[in-house]
Structure 1
Amino acid sequence: MTASVPGSLLSGPRALLVRWAVALAVGFVALYWWAVRTSAGQRQDILVFADAQALNQALAPVAGALRPGLPTAIGLLVLVLGAISAYRRHWRPLAAAAVIVLVSVVLSETLKEDVLERPYLGDLGYTVNSFPSGHVTAATALVVATLLLWPPALPRGALWVAGGVVLAACVASVVGHAHRPSDALASVLLVGSVTCLTCALLRVPRTAPA
């Protein structure tokens, strides 16, 4: 009987979003356990991190500007789009965008600073926990907010552009010595899980590219 209730979280598109939210959350936990809590994971993570530094000489100036610049620039765009949504009384996407950004950022910082720990498992880089990345979380959540608030429909190729911006945020944090690769990937998984759950709970309508 529960599955037949309209809008139930147990059936239809909302159920799919909830399943994606759970899958991404499980991926986040699994990544943390392997990349942070095991010697093999820490070693592989630092090896990829070291290989990424080969790009540092060429990309360091750009990475240094992108890391703080991307969240700031996208945040300003989200404020403009949010004002437009409020003027048009598109409250549900506006509420979802606000929840996704706030919950993702607060949850990311809380997990990194107060919950998750990085055990010492050998000389495998700096020992301070940096999982997940706050900058990548903020940039990714703001990109999602932009997609939700864009009026009236997403332009063709918008998802590719969004993915490119998120990738740039990840690369900037890794190449700029700020975060390990696992930190950046964890941020994307975290925002993805929060996004799917929020959209399921608030029944946010999906807008296809024009």
Structure 2
Amino acid sequence: MTQRRWRRLILLAVTVFCGTYGLLVRTAAGQRLENAALRGADQVVWVQDAANDVLNLITVRSLAGAVLILASIGLMRRRPRLSLAAVGLVGMSLGLTEVFKRVLLPRPPLAVAPDVYMHNSFPSGHTTIAMSVLLALVLVSRSRFRGSIMLLCMLYALGVGSWTLIAKWHRFSDTVGADAVALGVACAASLWLSRRDLVQPADTTELWPRQVLVTLLVLVLLFLVGASLLLLENAGTDLPAGQARDFRIFLAVTALSGACSIGTALLFWWTWFRLDVTPRLPERSR
């Protein structure tokens, strides 16, 4: 039953990834929508420098530090394969993203736009790093701490996705594609652990009440989705083309990007609900 969850989420991730690329990257209408969001980002130039500064903190050194922490957590729990799965999750997610964005999935110029708008690549490497590290932390954490860690680290993952849109490093489609890549690889890593009989029911409860955590995140997700849909509807029906319309589209896709990040983390957390990884037994106990 548990493996079925991960298989279905892998299928969902592939569907979202392909649908996003097909509808937003490979169509003129999708590109016009995202071009409008990029123009809308020009109206928040006072925070673009801050966005650039935050994104520039994601370097090879910081990524190596995050991977080292993930590996150390698994080893401290006497679960070396869990360390391998967490590190592999981050590495494979980033590797796939680089292949997709640089080799396999170009963004053709289907809508009239300045050249500076066409440099964005699908999917976003920065969002992939942030989301894959978040999901790896969910994977490697003890069951009782998993929800609390997800909630605390969610702010960072949400921030990176939003900053990439504000700084115009990427488009909305790029962040959604990155979330899909991270989710699919995270579920594949979970399947790898499960097929080696390393996944067991957890006999502990989380420190934070699950109902409060889930309710909080679901309410935020629903608010962001509702706000984005309302903004898109108003932009499409009440406003002529111009700065006001572009700004509403920018706000809408930024909110929807945050909702996608929250939904990605919640879905993966749900697959590990009341589950944990068995420790490696000492030699004398075998």
TM-score, structure 1 as length reference: 0.83
Structure with the larger RCO, 1 or 2 (CA within 8 Å, 6+ apart):
1
Distance (whole Å) between structure 1 residues aligned to residue 147 and residue 186 of structure 2: 21
Contact 1:154 1:209 in 2 (8 A): yes
Picking from 159, 181, 192, the partner of 2:150 is: 159
Contact 1:52 1:174 in 2 (8 A): yes
Shift of 1:200: 1.7
AA of the residue aligned to 1:19:
R
Query: Are 2:16 and 1:17 aligned?
Result: no
Change (3 A) 1:49 1:81: same
Q: Once the two structures are aligned, what percentage of the paired residues are identical?
A: 25
The aligned residue for residue 51 of structure 2 is 63
Query: Are 2:95 and 1:106 aligned?
Result: yes
Query: Are 2:44 and 1:40 aligned?
Result: no
AA of the residue aligned to 1:39:
A
Picking from 108, 113, 130, the partner of 1:119 is: 108
The aligned residue for residue 7 of structure 1 is none
AA of the residue aligned to 1:145:
A
Unaligned stretches of 5+ in structure 1?
A: 1-11
Contact 2:86 2:140 in 1 (8 A): yes
Aligned residues: 198
Unaligned stretches of 5+ in structure 2?
A: 208-286
Shift of 1:155: 5.8
Picking from 29, 39, 48, the partner of 2:18 is: 29
Change (3 A) 1:156 1:198: closer
The aligned residue for residue 125 of structure 2 is 134
Distance (whole Å) between structure 2 residues aligned to residue 132 and residue 38 of structure 1: 16
AA of the residue aligned to 1:166:
A
The aligned residue for residue 179 of structure 1 is 170
Contact 1:37 1:119 in 2 (8 A): yes
CA-to-partner distance for each residue in 1:119-175, whole Å, 9 max, x for gaps? 221313433451001111112111222222335742653323333221101111111
Larger radius of gyration: 2
Distance (whole Å) between structure 2 residues aligned to residue 156 and residue 130 of structure 1: 32
Distance (whole Å) between structure 1 residues aligned to residue 17 and residue 146 of structure 2: 30
Query: Are 2:183 and 1:192 aligned?
Result: yes
Distance (whole Å) between structure 2 residues aligned to residue 25 and residue 162 of structure 1: 25
Contact 1:67 1:173 in 2 (8 A): yes
Distance (whole Å) between structure 1 residues aligned to residue 111 and residue 77 of structure 2: 56
Shift of 1:94: 0.9
Change (3 A) 1:80 1:158: closer
Distance (whole Å) between structure 1 residues aligned to residue 150 and residue 75 of structure 2: 24
Shift of 1:103: 0.8
Larger deviation: 40-49 or 197-206?
197-206
The aligned residue for residue 192 of structure 2 is 201
The aligned residue for residue 8 of structure 1 is none
Change (3 A) 1:63 1:194: same
Contact 2:55 2:164 in 1 (8 A): yes
Distance (whole Å) between structure 1 residues aligned to residue 190 and residue 147 of structure 2: 22
**Helix, strand or coil: the match of 2:107?**
coil
Distance (whole Å) between structure 1 residues aligned to residue 14 and residue 74 of structure 2: 29
Distance (whole Å) between structure 2 residues aligned to residue 75 and residue 34 of structure 1: 34
Contact 1:74 1:143 in 2 (8 A): no
